[in-house]
Amino acid sequence: MNITFRQLQIFEAVARYLSYTRASEALHLTQPAVSMQIKQLEQSVGLPLFEQLGKKVFLTDAGQEFSRYAKAITAQLEELEQVVNEMKGLQRGRLTIAVASTANYFAPRLLAMFCQQHGEVTVSLDVTNREQLLKGLVENRTDLVIMGQPPEEMDLVAERFMENPLVVIAPPDHPLVTASKIPLERLHEETFLVREQGSGTRSAVERFFAANQLALSTAMEMSSNEAIKQGVAAGLGLGIVSLHTLGMELALKHLVILDVVNFPIMRYWYIVYRSGKRLSLVAQAFQNFVKEESARILEAAAV
């Protein structure tokens, strides 16, 4: 077989998304160019790797086998590139970071500070939800992940580096704004805007209320913290979000943190990678940088 590394990359993208359109967007190629490369690859292999039924794309049995080897080859080549970059030192190299959407309020600032010290390092940042973070770890597509509580059932290395307090927010004209030491039971009378099922914040809030033998009355689910903040400001209900997301809203007095007993719910941020993964010098440097700078980040996020 005469196969190029570029064909492997294109195949891996189509296999991951099961979509020629999404693969072409991810690779910044035209869809015809992706289709042509896959066709040439299939001709070289001598077997179809994909089949299309209606509008859906599926891997064939040969495609399933090819995918397994393609991932192994890609991983080996990336490791070779990593070793070569290590020989060049910390001034060069590539860093692939994925962060939970809530962490996007401080992660870009963190990366900017790191890049100022390592000017020639190329950084790829993916901001996504918890499900995609875990999928990226499983598929070994990221060097490091910044997220909330990692799942215990996955074989991961997770280092806690910063507090992540969850607070109750309300619009400035809400009757509870002037109250102090609001009992948890009082919140049972309120409706809440919450994150989608599977969100780390949603899970933490539900565990907290269940542990206190209370049910959370939800008005609607929203897919982002920004949507929750906008909804709370508009008077649709109360919200529970990370303190790190509230800098501008608190400064402009668009939102108020309520004084609720047993709040904030204290969570933590973790820097995570797969157990056994060989971290590059750049990834190790960023990991240490995160741990050293966490106090300053927390102070800036609270301002």
Condensed to tens digits (0 to 9), the pLDDT of residues 175-232 reads: 999 999 999 999 888 889 988 887 778 888 888 988 988 888 877 888 888 899 999 9
State the pLDDT at residue 220.
Answer: 85
Q: Is the residue at 82 inside a domain?
A: no
For residue 62, give every residue at least 6 positions away whose Cβ sits within 8 Å of its Cβ, in sequence order, or none: 45, 47, 48, 49
150 occurs within a structural domain: yes
Q: What is the pLDDT of residue 297?
A: 60
The answer to whether residues 158 and 273 belong to one domain is yes
Please report which confidence band the pLDDT of residue 298 belongs to, taking 50, 70 and 90 as the band edges: low
Range of the domain at 36: 5-76
Q: Say whether both 104 and 226 belong to one domain.
A: no
CA distance 281 to 134: 23
Residues 157 and 168 reside in one and the same domain: no
Are 109 and 171 contained in the same domain? no
CA proximity to 253, closest of 135, 172, 133, 149: 172
Residues 156-170: what's their mean pLDDT? Answer: 92
CATH number at residue 55: 1.10.10.10
Q: Are residues 275 and 152 in the same domain?
A: yes
| Cβ proximity of 48 and 14 under 8 Å | no
Average pLDDT, the chain: 87
State residue 299's pLDDT score. Answer: 59
**In this structure, what CATH number is given to the domain that contains residue 185?**
3.40.190.10
Q: Is residue 226 situated within a structural domain? A: yes
Cβ contacts of 26 within 8 Å, gap of 6 or more? 13, 17
pLDDT higher than threshold 50 for residue 303: no
Does the structure show a pLDDT above 70 at 241?
yes
Same domain as 253, residue 186? yes
Asked if residue 245 and residue 117 are part of one domain, the reply reads no
Residues 202 and 248 in one domain: yes
Residue 207 lies in a domain: yes
The answer to whether residue 301 scores a pLDDT higher than 60 is no
* Cα angle for residues 117, 118, 121 (degrees, 5° grid): 155
If one compares 219 and 240, the residue with the highest pLDDT of the two is 240
The answer to the question of residue 34 being in a domain is yes
Q: Judge if 179 and 247 occupy the same domain.
A: yes
Count of domains observed in the chain: 3
- 168 and 156 inside one domain: no
The answer on pLDDT for 50 being more than 90 is: yes
Show the CA angle centred on residue 195, arms to residues 146 and 159, nearest 5°: 20
Asked if residue 84 is part of any domain, the answer here is no
Do 97 and 233 lie in one domain? The reply is: no
Nearest-angstrom CA–CA distance, 189 and 245: 25
d(CA 172, CA 235): 10
Q: Which amino acid is at 224?
A: S
Phi, psi of 214 (to 5 degrees): -130, 150
Task: Give residue 105's pLDDT.
Answer: 82
Please check whether residue 181 lies inside any domain of the structure.
yes
For position 260, what pLDDT does the model report?
94
DSSP per-residue string spanning 20-67: HHHHHHHHT--HHHHHHHHHHHHHHHTS--EEEETTEEEE-HHHHHHH
DSSP letter for each residue of 169-197: EE-TT-GGGG-SSB-HHHHTTS-EEEEPT
Mention every residue, 6+ apart, whose C-beta is less than 8 A from residue 37.
6, 7, 10, 11
In a domain, 81, yes or no: no
**Do 94 and 232 belong to one domain?**
no
Cβ atoms of 12 and 70 within 8 Å: the answer is yes
Question: 3-state class of 279 per DSSP?
Answer: coil
Q: What is the pLDDT averaged over residues 66-77? A: 87
Q: What's the pTM value of the predicted model, to 2 decimals?
A: 0.64
Q: Out of 18, 47, 76, pick the residue that ends a domain.
A: 76
- Over residues 108-130, the pLDDT tens digits come to 888 888 888 877 788 889 988 88
